[in-house]
Amino acid sequence: MQLDALFSLAALAAFLVGSSKGGLPAVGMLAVPVLSLSMSPVLAAGLLLPIFVVSDVAGLWLYRRDYSAANVRILVPAGIAGVLVGWLTASWVSDRAITLLIALVGLGFCLNLWLRKNRDAPALPPQRVKGWFWGTVAGFTSFISHAGAPPFQVYMLPQQLPKAEFAGTATIVFAVINAAKIIPYQNLRPYSAEGLSYAAALVPFALAGAVAGAYLTRRVPQRWFYLLVQVSLFGVSLKLLVDVVMG
């Protein structure tokens, strides 16, 4: 693939990452598949981590007043634990198996939500045990392939939080998870000066995505926002399942 085409895909991936930090749910999960069109998924995940970290800073500023403190207290330590598990098992766990797990969890959750008879269930409060479980899974799958959104959403969606609070909580949780991934990634796949320079060239696209994501999030009605979350989760999960079956 020519350099211009490669950079175009990388810029699109960076924009998607930034958009997810701006509040558009599950969009960031599309970044690795997009970049995988031109390089291996492992290389793509490594290249995008600095973009995730820089985008996290923008997201934290955009949602500095909007988040669920109760969920943050539960999910942050759980997410860090998940990163640790991913680091310790990186050489044993198959990327294919993890991708399949993520896909099945996301599809199962959406289908259950859409097909159940009682769709107007009351909002659930934060739950420590469920939060620890899904937070750990989110940290683990985020470490493996930057795919922590489905487990996070499985736990968070039933709470029916205001959309800005939902987005802000996601931003904080994944900012900490991504920061926790820096040392393990450097240990497993050391960064070169050339790779970091390439990532730096993508930062403006990520920041533009963060601003665009925040703009759209704050202007989309809450009902449509959560429908977007669900449809995005279903679409990404279906794409992951197809990747496993066809891979």
Range 225-236 average pLDDT: 79
Chain segment 68-114, per-residue pLDDT in tens? 999 999 999 999 999 999 999 877 877 777 778 778 887 887 887 78
Range 191-197 average pLDDT: 81
34, 9 contact by CB (below 8 A): yes
Domain coordinates in residue numbering, the chain: 3-246
Range 124-137 average pLDDT: 95
| Helical spans, DSSP H, in 63-162 | 69-88, 95-115, 128-145, 149-156
pLDDT of res. 93: 74
Q: What is the pTM of this model?
A: 0.82
**Res. 1: pLDDT tops 50:** no
Chain segment 11-57, per-residue pLDDT in tens? 988 998 898 888 876 677 778 777 766 676 667 778 888 998 988 98
Contacts of 67 (CB under 8 A, 6+ apart): 165, 168, 169, 171, 172
Range 2-16 average pLDDT: 80
Q: Is 11 exposed, middle or buried (0-12, 13-18, 19+ CB in 10 A)?
A: middle
Distance, in Å, from the CA atom of 171 to the CA atom of 75, rounded to the nearest integer, reads 12
Assigned token pair, 99: 């991708």
Contacts of 110 (CB under 8 A, 6+ apart): 230, 233, 234, 237
Assigned token pair, 170: 């996601």
> Between the CA atoms of 106, 109, 110 and 115, what dihedral angle is there, to the nearest 10 degrees?
150
